């Protein structure tokens, strides 16, 4: 009996294995595919990514992990000069605008083809514009960059910045509903990549559905991205968390020197560092500042120019005492920003005097500066009748941003400084996506840590984003000057003449820190990216817009 | 049991939705504003009354559709992610249990046989240490020495940069089935450190229960009878001692599967092992409702199933049950 | 309900170990066991009618496992109580902040007056370790007490009344038991709207509730039909009096054992929560689990930052485990040998 039962079990098990084996066969090609298609040294570059990309259609994305991948797959009409945030031609060789600033004509590069063979011509470009504008309400919910830069779509009441797109032979004429300084820089954003209309139709690229708790993406966005970039998607091995891109041999620009670009997803930060040192990956992004020094010894640590700002937002709605400019200035004077920057932020970080970095046009070179002085801060508080006032200080948990690698440490430094000035600080923390941003948006946080990484080089992208709406995170509508600031920003943004515009922004920037002070600018801190010594050719970008077609890898 | 699961799912559902933040904020991102957030909530149906949402959830869940992930792998179906990652965690759990049993039972038996000896003392202490050291610290230390310092094992992930064919998503098994030996070997190498780490949890229990059970059985009348009969000690060990001592050991193995699931959350996080534990940890930080609902319900269900399996195994090896 | 039976049986077994007057039947085996004179002596006295607790204590006093455990625990408590006297600096003072530079010298080295160096925020590591004992003890004790209070309430309700109260209470307990403990703790901690020391304590306490509840219920049920309860009932003693005077005190032995073990589990689970980023974000009061969690990204370059809090956790939880396990053995009539 016993023997029989055992034998039966073994037989059943081996039958199952055999059945599996019969349908399992290796997909491997005999030659291991190292047929370097000319160019540089070939080879594979493996990059350690912190997270999985949401989709391969950048139009529906808003996160850096997605953009890092899609930047290699697609081109945009304009792009940013490697290592800077300034515009340079890409798919459009040149462009010009009408005197009223509302009609833009782009001259397209000729002979460019998408990886599926479709021609990248004026019609294809306009089809992309139309696609963006024709989004359904569901689609608009997924298209964050469109809705925050262009406003509405065809279905919404809110008018869009975009009016029309007309293809004429090799030219694209885009008409806008109003003048704005962000156009055409905004077209360099990865979200506005030009994608193949044929492939988008075939794989139903716009078929996006809100479903239960998340957004269900169409086939196109999940597995058939089709662009004209230096790489194409080979496979996304979800079980092993690796994305493999293949060199596009027909790329119109500088063809990739490596054969393959692999993104290996390693969520844990210290594991990425260890993997780099063990040679399992060739590079990774945003190394922990504490590791910079040791990484420099055997690797190539590239520090990007700081194109961000960390600020402490103030909100008088949640704490009426903050309505007094004296109090806000006292809070600023009480923070020892030089020490904070030195002890908590990486090398190369700077104290911020304005709400935007000095590389942006419109930066005021001689702004009013605040120097750290506890006693003066105490005095100012006394004068304002706010000595020993109580204030909530909010900071996010479970998050690390390029402008604040460790929010809790920055919070701690500010809390200590404020306490030294006699304030009673009440810490409040919530997870970034678990209530922090919601509370800040709702105006519940009287003082909060937040920041911004610029998308492109315009003042509007920084201070325009922060303060144009009066119901912004600082609730500037609360103040007597809120509407005025908003009007000043709108006026500057819609000024066609560049010199005039820049001058206006300079004035606004100085007013922002002297008369308004809706928040306290803290620092600009440079994020880094690190590669091992075998990798060369990559220029670190302030926009984290690194181009891997220039990468070379020594064997 | 279905009742318990329903209650659990309702509790979880209502609780998740009573919290601030969530998938809508995650999708809305850094540039969010209240109007945009409201629009996204409307699109996702998150502005319906909770009970309507729950009924919709149940309706979909019955068909196996648990919604779309927003944090772990945004945009993919949660069920798809679950099915894909389940083999990873099973592979890890099974190997950990094999290691724990392979070390725990013989050591437990030897310790019991030479009670009070050096081996007994040493193993007893180490089994107590296994409980006292936080499992993620064990993971850090093992990783630091074996992977970072001595380069004996890979640092993270399930497989290196190797071309491998996927059949069952059990990577080791796949490698064997498709005769891609290097792929199988590579997957196994990735498994070893996490499995050893994870094994420290069940090891101490398996060891101590085996030791106690063998001690108990050695005192039983039938062992004394067998000894009196003059049976060789080998036969006694095999037929009487081990077989009877195995009963509580099997029980504890079953019980430990639950703890293993918990330990996998920490171990997989440290070793960047893309299994369910890693998914769970990230679902929590990313406020991924659909993934959380699916994973927690599945964890409870797995626990139930494993216990059921224990009962069946129990019946199989317990001589008393068998003769009935 | 079969699947959960195993976990239940284990707890019920522990519950029965003191509640049932099992001394006699165990003694028979013990007397014949020549290996362990300690066990034999205890067993013999049992037969003479010495109380179970007294004989357990007698055995414990001579058990090296128990003594080591007790010494470690006592040291831990002493350090925690006298932390302000022992520590050279306050836990949130930043005497070394001036030396820190985030990318060139993130962790101040050991130096005069700072034998272990500083941490990432320029605070004295040694002082934080010393103060950490205090916070760790508070977390452990409060979480265990919370679990105990919840468990005693539920278990007493179920065990004392039986019937439908028992079924309802045990159904709730079963829901809690159906998840692995760490998963339950993570769920509760991460779903709190604002993480703090209290969410950690509450999360771990809730995880302990079902364990204590089952334990008490088992031991109560065993006593409901025991002679002294029957006697009291026949004398017309009120039900509440029977529960609080007779049944509850007699169940405290296993509860005490379980509490000791629960303390160790609490400390480790608090560390696990911190590691996953679900711990108390405010670190002005040092806590070992939190310190260990915060050190995870510095482990490669500055292992000592992680090692010290880890070592403290291991030693203390080992102390509690040793104490708890040896007490469990001493109280368990079956293992008295």
Residues B34 and B137 in one domain: no
- CB C275 within 8 Å of CB C292: yes
In a domain, A224, yes or no: no
> What number of residues does chain B have?
324
**What is the pLDDT of chain A when averaged over all its residues?**
90
Neighbour-count burial for B234-270, b at 16+ CB within 10 Å, e otherwise = eebbeebbbebbbbbbbbbbbbbbbbbbbbbbbbbbb
Which residue of B7, B212, B299 is in closest CB contact with C175? B7
Q: Which stretches within chain B are classed as H helix?
A: 2-18, 23-28, 34-44, 50-62, 78-113, 118-132, 135-142, 171-177, 181-218, 221-229, 233-235, 243-270, 276-285, 289-317, 319-323
- Mutation target vs C (from B15, B112, B123, B132; most C CBs, 10 A cutoff): B132
Q: What is the pLDDT of residue B115?
A: 81
Residues of A near C (Cβ–Cβ under 8 Å) read 269-270, 273-274, 288-294, 339, 342-347, 349, 397-398, 405, 408-409, 412-413, 416, 427-431, 434-435
- Residue B318: pLDDT band (50, 70, 90) is low
Residues B258 and B176 in one domain: yes
What is the number of structural domains in chain A? 3
Interface contacts A/C by beta carbons within 8 Å: 74
Record: contact C272-B266, CB cut-off 8 A: yes
Q: Answer with the residue of higher pLDDT: B234 or B321.
A: B234
Q: What is the pLDDT of residue C184?
A: 86
With vertex at residue C100, the alpha carbon angle to CA C96 and CA C105, rounded to the nearest 5 degrees, is: 125
- Residue C30: pLDDT band (50, 70, 90) is very low
Residues A97 and A35 in one domain: no
Identify all chain B residues contacting C289, using CB atoms and an 8 Å cutoff. Answer: 134
Q: What is the pLDDT of residue A509?
A: 96
Residues A293 and A426 in one domain: no
Residues A170 and A286 in one domain: no
Pairing assessment for the beta strands A103-108 and A171-176 based on DSSP bridges = antiparallel
Note the ipTM here. 0.87
Domain that holds residue B46: 2-61
Q: Is the pLDDT of residue B53 over 80?
A: yes
Q: What is the pLDDT of residue A11?
A: 57
- Residue B319: pLDDT band (50, 70, 90) is low
Identify all chain C residues contacting B11, using CB atoms and an 8 Å cutoff. Answer: 175
Q: Answer with the residue of higher pLDDT: C205 or A1.
A: C205
Residues B47 and B169 in one domain: no
What is the number of structural domains in chain B? 2
Residues A124 and A210 in one domain: yes
**In the block, residue with structure tokens 């504490």:** A290
- Tell me whether C287 touches chain B (CB under 8 Å): no
- Rounded CA-CA distance B297/B310 in Å is 20
Record: contact C101-A347, CB cut-off 8 A: yes
d(CA A167, nearest CA chain B) in Å: 32
Residues A172 and A268 in one domain: no
Residues A44 and A136 in one domain: no
Nearest CA in chain A to B33: A441
Residues B123 and B18 in one domain: no
Residues A69 and A79 in one domain: no
CA distance to A520, A523, B29, C297, per residue, from A475 (Å): 14, 22, 19, 37
Record: contact B128-C321, CB cut-off 8 A: yes
In a domain, B301, yes or no: yes
Residues A127 and A208 in one domain: yes
Residues A300 and A432 in one domain: no
DSSP structural state of residue C97:
G
Residues B45 and B108 in one domain: no
- Rounded CA-CA distance C48/A176 in Å is 100
In a domain, B75, yes or no: no
- CB A509 within 8 Å of CB A492: no
Record: contact A290-C120, CB cut-off 8 A: yes
Determine the average pLDDT of the residues in C122-129: 95
- Rounded CA-CA distance C64/C70 in Å is 10
What is the three-class DSSP state of C75?
A: helix
- Residue A89: pLDDT band (50, 70, 90) is very high
Phi-psi region of A370 (alpha: psi -120 to 50; beta: other; left: phi over 0): beta
Identify all chain B residues contacting C190, using CB atoms and an 8 Å cutoff. Answer: 284-285
Interface of C with B in 252-281 (CB under 8 A): 264, 268, 271-272, 275-278
Record: contact A28-B85, CB cut-off 8 A: no
Determine the average pLDDT of the residues in C119-146: 94
Q: Ranked by mean pLDDT, which of A212-216, B9-13, C171-175 comes out on top?
A: B9-13
Among A216, A243, A274, residue at a domain's last position: A216
DSSP structural state of residue C334:
G
What pairs with residue A80 in β-bridges?
Answer: A87
Query: pLDDT for A358-399, tens place per residue?
Result: 999 999 998 888 999 999 999 999 999 998 899 999 999 878
Residues B193 and B47 in one domain: no
Residues B132 and B264 in one domain: yes
Domain annotation for chain C: domains and CATH numbers? 85-92+116-331 (1.10.3720.10)
- Tokens representing C31 are 């007397």
Record: contact A239-B22, CB cut-off 8 A: no
- CB B138 within 8 Å of CB B200: yes
- Rounded CA-CA distance A437/B30 in Å is 8
- CB A431 within 8 Å of CB A399: yes
Q: What is the pLDDT of residue C11?
A: 56
pTM (whole model) above 0.80 = yes
Query: pLDDT for B92-121, tens place per residue?
Result: 999 999 999 999 989 988 888 888 788 888
Q: Is the pLDDT of residue A320 over 70?
A: yes
Residues B193 and B231 in one domain: yes
Residues A65 and A89 in one domain: no
Burial of A70 per CB tally in 10 Å (0-12, 13-18, 19+): buried
Q: What is the pLDDT of residue A543?
A: 93
CATH number for the domain harbouring residue A151: 3.90.76.10
Residues B122 and B240 in one domain: yes
Residues A443 and A350 in one domain: yes
In a domain, A223, yes or no: no
Residues B139 and B243 in one domain: yes
Query: pLDDT for B141-176, tens place per residue?
Result: 999 999 988 999 999 899 988 888 888 889 999 999
In a domain, A222, yes or no: no
CATH number for the domain harbouring residue B148: 1.10.3720.10
Residues B130 and B6 in one domain: no
Q: Answer with the residue of higher pLDDT: B220 or C106.
A: C106
Domain that holds residue A128: 75-216
Q: What's phi and psi for B6, nearest 5 deg?
A: -60, -45
In a domain, A364, yes or no: yes
Closest C-alpha to A246, from A233, A237, A255, A257: A233
Chains that touch A (3 or more CB pairs under 8 A): B, C
Residues B212 and B319 in one domain: yes
In a domain, A145, yes or no: yes
Residues A262 and A323 in one domain: no
- Residue C36: pLDDT band (50, 70, 90) is very low
DSSP class per residue in C220-279: HHHHHTSHHHHHHHHTT--HHHIIIIIIHHHTHHHHHHHHHHHHHHHHHHHHHHHHTT-S
d(CA B183, nearest CA chain A) in Å: 11
Record: contact A292-C121, CB cut-off 8 A: no
Query: pLDDT for A24-72, tens place per residue?
Result: 666 665 444 444 444 456 899 999 999 888 899 999 998 889 999 999 9
């Amino acid at each position: 009996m016993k023997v029989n039962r055992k034998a039966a079990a073994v037989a059943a098990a081996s039958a199952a294995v055999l059945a599996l084996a019969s349908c399992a066969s290796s997909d491997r090609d005999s030659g291991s595919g190292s047929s370097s298609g000319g160019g540089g040294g070939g080879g594979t570059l493996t990059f350690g990514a912190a997270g999985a990309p949401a989709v391969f259609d950048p139009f529906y994305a808003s996160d850096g992990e997605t953009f890092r991948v899609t930047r290699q797959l697609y081109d945009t009409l304009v792009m940013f000069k490697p290592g800077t945030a300034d515009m340079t031609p890409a798919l459009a060789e040149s462009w010009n605008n009408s005197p009223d600033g509302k009609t833009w004509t782009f001259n397209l590069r000729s002979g460019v083809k998408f990886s599926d063979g479709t021609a990248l011509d004026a019609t294809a470009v306009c089809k992309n514009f139309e696609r963006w504008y024709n989004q359904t309400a569901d689609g608009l919910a997924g298209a964050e960059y469109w809705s925050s830069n262009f406003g509405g779509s065809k279905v919404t009441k809110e008018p869009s910045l975009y009016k029309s797109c007309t293809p004429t032979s090799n030219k694209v004429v885009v008409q806008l509903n109003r003048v704005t300084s962000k156009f055409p820089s905004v077209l360099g954003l990865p979200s506005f990549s030009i994608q193949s209309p044929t492939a988008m139709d075939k794989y139903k690229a716009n078929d996006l559905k809100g479903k239960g708790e998340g957004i269900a993406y169409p086939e196109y966005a999940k597995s058939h991205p089709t662009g004209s970039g230096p790489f194409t998607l080979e496979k996304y091995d979800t079980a092993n968390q690796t994305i493999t891109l293949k060199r596009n041999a027909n790329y119109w620009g500088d063809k990739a020197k490596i054969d393959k670009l692999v993104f290996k997803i390693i969520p844990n930060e210290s594991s990425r560092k260890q993997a780099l040192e063990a040679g399992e990956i060739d590079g990774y992004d945003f190394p922990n500042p504490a590791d910079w020094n040791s990484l420099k010894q055997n690797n190539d640590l590239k520090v990007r120019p700081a194109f961000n700002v960390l600020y402490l937002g103030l909100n008088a709605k949640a704490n009426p005492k903050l309505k007094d400019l004296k109090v806000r200035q006292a809070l600023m004077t009480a923070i020892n920003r030089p020490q904070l920057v030195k002890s908590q932020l990486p090398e190369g970080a700077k104290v911020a005097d304005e709400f935007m970095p000095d590389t942006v046009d419109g930066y005021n070179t001689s702004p009013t500066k605040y120097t750290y002085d506890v006693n003066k801060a105490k005095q100012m508080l006394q004068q304002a009748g706010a000595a020993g006032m109580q204030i909530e200080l909010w900071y996010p948990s479970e998050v690390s941003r390029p402008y604040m690698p460790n929010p809790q440490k920055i919070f701690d430094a500010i809390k200590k400084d404020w306490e030294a000035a006699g304030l009673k600080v009440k810490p409040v923390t919530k997870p970034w996506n678990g209530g922090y941003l919601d509370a800040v948006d709702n105006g519940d946080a009287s003082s909060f840590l937040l920041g911004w990484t610029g998308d492109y080089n315009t003042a509007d992208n920084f201070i325009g984003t922060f303060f144009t709406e009066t119901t912004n995170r600082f609730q500037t509508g609360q103040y007597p000057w809120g509407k005025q600031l908003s009007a000043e920003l709108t006026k500057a943004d819609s000024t066609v003449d560049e010199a005039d515009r820049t001058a206006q922004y300079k004035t606004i920037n100085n007013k922002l820190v002297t008369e308004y002070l809706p928040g306290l600018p803290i620092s600009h801190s440079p994020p880094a990216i690190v590669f091992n010594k075998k990798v060369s050719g990559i220029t670190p970008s302030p926009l984290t817009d690194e181009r891997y077609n220039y990468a070379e890898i020594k064997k | 049991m279905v009742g318990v699961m329903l209650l659990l799912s309702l509790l979880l559902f209502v609780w998740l939705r009573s919290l601030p933040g969530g998938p809508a904020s995650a999708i809305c991102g850094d540039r969010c504003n209240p109007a945009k957030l409201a629009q996204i909530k409307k699109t996702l149906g998150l502005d319906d009354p909770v009970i309507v949402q729950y009924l919709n959830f149940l309706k979909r869940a019955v068909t196996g559709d648990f919604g779309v992930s927003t944090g772990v792998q945004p945009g993919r179906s949660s069920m798809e992610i679950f099915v894909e990652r389940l083999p990873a965690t099973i592979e890890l759990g099974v190997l950990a249990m094999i290691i724990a049993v392979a070390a725990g039972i013989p050591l437990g038996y030897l310790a019991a046989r030479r009670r009070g000896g050096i081996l007994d003392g040493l193993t007893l202490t180490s089994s107590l240490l296994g409980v006292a050291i936080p499992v993620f610290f064990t993971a850090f230390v093992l990783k630091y020495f074996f992977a970072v310092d001595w380069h004996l094992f890979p640092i993270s992930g399930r497989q290196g940069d190797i071309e491998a064919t996927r059949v069952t998503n059990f990577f080791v098994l796949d490698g064997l089935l498709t005769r891609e030996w290097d792929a199988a070997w590579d997957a196994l190498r990735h498994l070893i450190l996490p499995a050893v780490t994870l094994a420290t949890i069940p090891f101490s229990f398996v060891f101590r229960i085996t030791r106690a059970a063998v001690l108990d059985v050695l005192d039983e009348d039938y062992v004394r009878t067998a000894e009196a009969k003059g049976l060789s000690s080998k036969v006694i060990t095999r037929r009487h001692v081990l077989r009877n001592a195995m009963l509580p050991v099997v029980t504890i193995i079953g019980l430990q599967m639950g703890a293993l699931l918990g330990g996998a959350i920490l171990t997989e996080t440290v070793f960047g092992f893309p299994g369910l534990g890693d998914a769970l940890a990230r679902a929590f930080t990313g406020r991924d409702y659909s993934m959380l609902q699916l994973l927690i319900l599945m964890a409870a269900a797995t626990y139930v199933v494993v216990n059921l399996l224990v009962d069946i195994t129990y019946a199989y090896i317990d001589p008393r049950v068998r003769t009935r | 309900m079969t699947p959960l039976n195993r976990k239940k049986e284990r707890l019920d077994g522990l519950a029965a170990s003191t509640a049932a007057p099992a001394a006699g039947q165990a003694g028979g085996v013990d007397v014949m066991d020549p290996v362990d004179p300690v066990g034999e002596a205890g067993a013999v006295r049992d037969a003479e009618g010495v109380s179970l607790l007294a004989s357990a204590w007698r055995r414990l006093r001579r058990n090296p496992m128990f003594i080591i455990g007790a010494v470690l625990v006592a040291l831990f408590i002493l350090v925690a109580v006298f932390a302000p006297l022992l520590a050279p600096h306050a836990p949130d003072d930043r005497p070394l902040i001036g030396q820190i530079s985030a990318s060139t010298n993130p962790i101040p080295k050991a130096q005069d007056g700072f034998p272990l160096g500083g941490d990432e925020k320029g605070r004295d590591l040694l002082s934080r370790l010393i103060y950490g004992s205090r916070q760790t003890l508070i977390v452990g004790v409060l979480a265990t007490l919370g679990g105990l209070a919840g468990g005693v309430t539920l278990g007493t309700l179920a065990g004392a009344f039986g019937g439908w109260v028992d079924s309802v209470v045990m159904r709730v307990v079963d829901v809690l038991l159906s998840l692995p403990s760490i998963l339950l703790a993570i769920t509760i901690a991460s779903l709190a709207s604002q993480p703090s020391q209290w969410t950690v304590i509450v999360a771990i306490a809730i995880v302990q509730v079902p364990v204590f509840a089952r334990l008490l219920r088992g031991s109560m049920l065993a006593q409901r039909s025991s002679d002294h309860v029957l006697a009291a009932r026949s004398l017309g003693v009120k039900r509440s009096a029977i529960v609080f005077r007779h049944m509850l005190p007699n169940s405290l032995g296993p509860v005490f054992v379980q509490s000791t073990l629960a303390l160790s589990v609490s400390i480790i689970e608090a560390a696990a929560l911190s590691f996953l980023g679900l711990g108390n974000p405010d670190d002005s009061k040092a806590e070992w689990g939190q310190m260990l969690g915060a050190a995870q990204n510095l482990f490669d370059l500055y292992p000592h930052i992680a090692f010290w809090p880890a070592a403290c956790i291991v030693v203390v939880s080992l102390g509690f485990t040793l104490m708890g396990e040896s007490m469990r053995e001493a109280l368990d009539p079956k293992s008295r040998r």
